[in-house]
Chain A
């Protein structure tokens, strides 16, 4: 179970990083960022899971799962949404200048 989720996390993170680095369409770059983010959150969540654990609400019944990573994940999701929204805002503004969403058209600052 844990090994499966670790493999998924590694694949998802590598896929996201590859998308960010290789894709020309800037929307796909942003999708790559969200993939990487999901991978990290999945890692946090899968570590918090205990087989047979119950929801960590007092009074505890049996073994509770670790509540701390869940709250981290919620916080990180909010932060990620903020980053993505800002990225789209930048892309919209740049689109008004370039009429394109290709990274090569955006890349003018060099050296």
Chain B
């Protein structure tokens, strides 16, 4: 691969530039904007994919301006970032494509076109979070991402969207300030912000200070990823936004927060230093998220709200995976975040299309849609089965690895809880599926109307089948396990990043 270190830089620079050029283009040549949006989307996806491929074969370190780790800003991508860069490449492209097809019906002069610029800003900062090598740039990229996400949430300007946007903004800002507080405390203790260098001096920080910083980090990043007890904003924001935005928020953005939690806790708060066991804390919070999400999802009549609560539950699975603190657990969490990103963004797309057809977000109004659109109905069935975790499909294997990791550590109750979560999610997904394939035709649904972005939905509906192969292809399975080993031993990261400093 040519210039292996530079792909991640351009995966940040290109979408950021495109965002602003697209605004100008929309102002001066509105009729040409559509093509350029698609072109920029394709190029960004390609660059992100390139960054992921180059990172998956080894650690890539880019010293911006040629400065070393002690003075300069580093971009680092490693096998862990690679997994999330893949998610970003596919999830971002699917979300931009969905939004594009939705707004292209409203003509080139509509106000909604401006949103596309925000998508690219969000995408750039997402790639920034995944490749940054220091704590302060993590905060900066987080805030860029958050501001773009707040505006996108409220962009449809309905009352619900504005309320959800304001809630998201207030809680997101509190979360960002907690992250900044932890960052400044770590800087006071370590005198450096680079992950690799800070990780090597973190032993000298007093135990109490480190414990407080760890608490603030977990609370701040937990707020951003919708972890119980900081989850209040998530169902509102993810269910009130428009379809493309929901896909991006629920599929990709929460995964970026999960990535930073994984990176920061494993590198900066080693188990013996922080005074309390971070993996155990994450395990308990994960179990809480799992049950809160699954139980609250049962009560929902709105399909998007139900899917959003299900996201809270699946964040729980990911936290349990890293709570096991073993390569297998982390590998399971990585596989599951891939599965969840693909399936949940596709389910939001399907739910959005069904809601537009029936004119209501209530899933009870979807009677017989699965029979009217057999291919889309089959795709929805596959995706829901994968998210529930039925054995041959993709969603099962991630959970299976997490269960195995929990049993490996002798945590039988956790393993049982994860399996109980599968049963609980059957309780709310199965009625929706029964309603979709019900032979009755409801009277009030319109007979005409086409499924939006049907091709994309069917394509995404194939992903559970493809991802099911993950577990059986030895090289991919070994890659995930290697990534897990890489994550749980911070010394490897330190040596790789600092070793590359020697000219």
Contacts and interface: CB of A to CB of B under 8 A. Distances in A.
Interface string A68-90: 11001001100100110011001
A51 B136 CA distance: 26
Nearest to B151: A86
A37 B172 CA distance: 13
Interface string B279-311: 000000000000000001001100001000000
Contacts of A76: 139, 180
B240 A109 contact: yes
Prevailing SS type, chain A contact patch: helix
B157 A93 contact: yes
Contacts of A99: none
A44 interface: yes
A91 interface: yes
Interface stretch (B162-170, B384-392, B444-452, B474-482): B162-170
Interface centre among B139, B177, B187 (most CB of A within 10 A): B177
Contacts of A50: none
B304 to A, nearest CB: 11
A108 B165 CA distance: 13
B36 to A, nearest CB: 26
A109 B180 contact: no
B162 A13 contact: no
A94 B188 contact: no
Interface magnitude class on chain A? 20 to 34
A18 interface: no
Interface magnitude class on chain B? 35 or more
B170 A79 contact: no
B184 A33 contact: no
Interface string A58-75: 000000000011001001
A30 B167 CA distance: 11
B181 interface: yes
Contact of B188 (A29, A37, A47): A47
A40 B188 CA distance: 12
Given A33-B173, A36-B174, A79-B143, A94 B162 contact: yes
Given A33-B173, A83-B147, A44 B163 contact: no
A52 interface: no
Contact of B173 (A83, A91, A106): A83
B78 interface: no
B296 A111 contact: yes
Interface in B173-209: 173-174, 176-177, 180-181, 184-185, 187-188
Interface in A7-25: 13, 17, 20
A94 B159 contact: yes
A17 B174 contact: yes
Contact of B162 (A43, A69, A93): A93
B343 to A, nearest CB: 23
Given A13-B181, A40-B180, A82-B147, A109 B300 contact: no
Interface string B223-252: 000000000000110011000000000000
Contact of A111 (B147, B166, B300): B300
Contacts of A68: 187
B169 A86 contact: yes
Contacts of B169: 83, 86-87, 90
A40 B184 contact: yes
B99 to A, nearest CB: 20
A43 B174 contact: no
Contacts of A93: 154, 157, 162
B150 interface: yes
B293 to A, nearest CB: 13
Contact of B166 (A13, A20, A36, A94): A94
Nearest to B191: A66
A97 B158 CA distance: 9
B235 to A, nearest CB: 8
B454 to A, nearest CB: 30
A94 B163 contact: yes
A17 B175 CA distance: 11
Contacts of A47: 184, 187-188
Contacts of B160: 108-109
B140 interface: yes
A88 to B, nearest CB: 10
B177 A37 contact: yes
5 closest pairs, A vs B, by CB?
A90-B166, A109-B236, A79-B143, A44-B184, A97-B159
23 contacts: A29-B170, A37-B173, A40-B184, A43-B184, A43-B185, A72-B184, A75-B140, A79-B140, A79-B176, A83-B147, A83-B173, A90-B162, A90-B166, A93-B157, A97-B159, A97-B162, A106-B166, A108-B159, A108-B163, A109-B160, A109-B240, A111-B235, A111-B296
Given A20-B170, A47-B187, A111-B305, 18 more contacts: A30-B170, A43-B184, A43-B185, A72-B136, A75-B140, A76-B139, A79-B143, A82-B143, A83-B147, A86-B147, A87-B166, A90-B154, A91-B166, A94-B159, A109-B160, A109-B164, A109-B167, A109-B235
